Structure 1
Amino acid sequence: MLISNNSYVAPQSFILNGIPGLERVHVWLSLPVCTMYIISLMGNLGLVYLIYYEESLHRPMYLFLAMLSLIDLLICTTTLPNALCIFWFNLKEINFNACLVQMFFVHGFTGVESGVLMLMALDRYMAICYPLRYATILTKPLIAKAGVATFLRGVLLMIPFPFLVKRLPFCRSNIIAHTYCDHMSVVKLSCASTKVNVIYGLMAALLIGVFDICCISMSYTMILRAVVSLSSADARQKAFSTCTAHISAIIITYVPAFFTFFTHRFGEHIIPPSLHIIVANLYLLLPPTLNPIVYGVKTKQIRDSVTKLFHGEKGIS
């Protein structure tokens, strides 16, 4: 907002315009979004409760899975209720400071999620390559420390984002073509140089996304070498089957994440804005929705625990 020749003030609020070009079908788009949100809430809360309740699941793999479920709950709850308010009630206005807070939580929690996926890859590496020392190395205190360190890394690296945005002048439109406050979507509204924001955004992506992908790739390279060296085909299949759910979670998380990241920076005039916003929402909604389903289907211990819990409650009633 321009107030004199050389001075600016931040806008009091932004207008989140939803999905550009698809405003007429916002109500219809809300149906799958709301359904996925309900599934994600039920699935992740159920998974966390199951891991807490079932003592046989108090093992490193499932403790990391509980961390992932909690982060997934926070990610979708940070953005999805806001998107549904836009779709259903046309409540598009968001306070400037609230926008910055949402931006911080979105990027902070997605950074933590990436770190937890990396920890889960290291867990699979230890379980397959060092099975006899697995329980003695990955103790509960070490898991807690790794979780706290991952959380702090994601949060601390994202703290500068709101301050970098707050220093920018916004003398153009205050309409954000999005359903939530994303860093680059807000920065593009500024009428000043955003070079510092872009550089820091790339640095954060390197320190979190690229670093985690490299660690995951190295872990699975070592896992593949260990699995191939096993003499029995059944042993190879059993060892690798413990990784399929995690590999699925990696694909579900990183494919839409990288699509969103690169289209923001390089595909702005190639990818339709509506497609970009839809994928950006799927990037936050798909992992919380599908991860509990994937782990429930692919992991025998979880299926057995669900059956045991269900039959136990049925017997009591």
Structure 2
Amino acid sequence: MSEFLQVSNSSKIQVSEFLLLGFPGIHSWQHWLSIPMIPPYLSAAGANLLILVTIYQDPGLQQPMYQFLSILSLVDMGLATTMIPRILVNFWFGVKVISLLECCIQMYFIHFFIGMESGIFLCMAFDRYVAICHPLRYPTIVTRGLVAKAVLLMVLRNGVFVIPIPLLAAQRDYCSKNEIDHCLCSNLGVTSLACDDNWPNKITQLLLAWFGLGGDLSLILLSYTLILYTVLQLKSPDATSKALRTCSSHLILIFIFYTNIVVVSVTQLTEFKDKLIQVALNVLSNVLPPSLNPLVYAFRTKELRAGFRKVFALDAKKK
């Protein structure tokens, strides 16, 4: 382990690189886990790319709802690519060494993309609220300009709010251990190795989760409460069914995303004893949403399926 340590001018040993050991307790055969990890990554990359191409090429999908969906696809691809390739390289080629700087960069982008996903879900909830509760005003309220401003606001919000997490992690005093029993550089997984107390990191992550993700979820729940109230006032069963169908895909994805966040937060911030389950849940919480989001929308959105057929038909004609 000494090869990963450097000595500062004050003769104090300081860790400059870490070892990502992978899944605790199963290091000898964890490379086999790369097999079930490939399909979710291919789904996250390929299916989301297909959605992007379809929305771009089909004029009928140039609506705010699908524009937000295209941004969500970009975010999903970014989140999956931030983690899975690094994990696969570790499993396949044994490249376990990662510098503190690389760790902090990965940490930043993981939290950034998670925050972006939450923010885009909020934008989509607002879009559905206006479409169902104020349908006549929808074209004048939810415009392309509003979509661009909302996305830019989410990028700036998460880009700035996430900075304290890697910044505080980099300032910890790593003077002894450098082996991370994890597949990726999670905030608390890295800072738990510090010789000084990592309570500022725990408090920061808790506050960001509470005010960032928690604030988004509160507004999403408020939006859907108002949507449900409006839908229940509709006298036409067909109109009620159609309104609920337009929200069903979004609600499924919101449930999956925030359930994962809550489970991971509880296992990380409490004294959860089974380290293997904790790491597995952390990885799955960042892999499942990007791979499931496009599948849910593809299966449950009629307009998107029609767009897929148009794109494939165009490709067939070109050939």
User: What TM-score do you get using the length of structure 1 for normalisation?
Assistant: 0.95
Specify the alignment match of 2:284 in structure 1.
282
Are 1:89 and 2:93 counterparts?
yes
Q: CA deviation at 1:34?
A: 1.1
Whole-angstrom CA distance in 1 between matches of 2:288 and 2:150: 25
Q: CA deviation at 1:195?
A: 2.2
- Residues 269-302 of structure 1: CA distance to partner in whole angstroms, max 9, x if unpaired? 2xx2111111111111111111111001100100
Runs (4 or more) in structure 1 with deviation over 6 Å come to: none
Q: Deviations over 1:140-179 (max 9, x none)?
A: 0111000010111111011122221122111231111111
Deviation for aligned residue 1:65: 0.3
Q: 1:100-130 CA distances to partner (integer Å, 9 max, x unpaired)?
A: 1111111111111111111111111111111
State the partner residue of 2:182. Answer: 178
Map 1:206-221; keep pairs closer than 5 Å: 206-221=210-225
Q: Who is 2:107 aligned against? A: 103
1:89: how far off? 1.5
Q: Name 2:25's counterpart in structure 1.
A: 21
Distance 1:195 1:290 in 2: 34
Structure 1 pair 224/9, CA: closer, same or farther in 2 (3 Å)? farther
Match of 1:79 in 2: 83
Could you tell me whether the CA contact under 8 Å between 2:64 and 2:142 is conserved in 1? Answer: yes
8 Å CA contact retained: 1:125, 1:222 = yes
**1:41 is the counterpart of 2:45:** yes
Alignment of 1:1-317 (within 5 A): 8=12, 10-269=14-273, 272-317=274-319
Unaligned stretches of 5+ in structure 1?
A: none
For 2:286 and 2:86, how far apart are their aligned partners in 1? 13
RMSD between aligned alpha carbons?
Answer: 1.6
User: In 1, are the aligned partners of 2:58 and 2:310 still within 8 Å (CA)?
Assistant: no
Indicate how the Cα distance of structure 1 residues 305 and 197 shifts in structure 2: closer, same or farther if over 3 A, else same.
same
Structure 1 contact 9–169 (Cα < 8 Å) conserved: no
Alignment CA distance shift 1:306-1:25 (3 Å): same
Amino acid at match of 2:53: Y
Contact 2:7 2:14 in 1 (8 A): no
Counterparts of 1:48 and 1:9, CA distance in 2:
49
Report the identity percentage. 37
Contact kept in structure 2, 1:45 and 1:69, CA below 8 Å: yes
Query: For the residues of structure 2 that align with 1:284 and 1:16, how far apart are their CA atoms?
Result: 17
The whole-number CA distance in structure 2 between the counterparts of 1:9 and 1:116 is: 44
CA distance in 2, matches of 1:141, 1:243: 23
SS of the residue corresponding to residue 18 of structure 2 reads strand
Q: Is the 8 A contact 1:170 1:190 kept in 2?
A: yes
Q: Is the 8 A contact 2:80 2:287 kept in 1?
A: yes
- The amino acid of 1:85's aligned partner reads V
Quote the Cα distance in structure 2 between the aligned partners of 1:237 and 1:23.
50
Letter in 1 for 2:144: K
SS at match of 1:24: coil
Distance 2:190 2:100 in 1: 10
Shift of the 117–7 alpha-carbon distance from structure 1 to 2, 3 Å rule, reads farther
TM-score by length of 2: 0.94
Residue identity matched to 1:56? G
**Is contact 1:44–1:292 with CA below 8 Å preserved after alignment?**
yes
Evaluate the alpha carbon distance shift between residue 136 and residue 17 of structure 1 in structure 2; reply closer, same or farther with a 3 A threshold. same
2:260 is paired with a residue of what secondary structure? helix
Cα distance in 1 for residues equivalent to 2:254 and 2:14: 38
For these two proteins, the number of residue pairs brought into alignment is: 314
Instruction: Say whether the 8 Å CA contact 2:6–2:15 is kept in structure 1.
Output: no
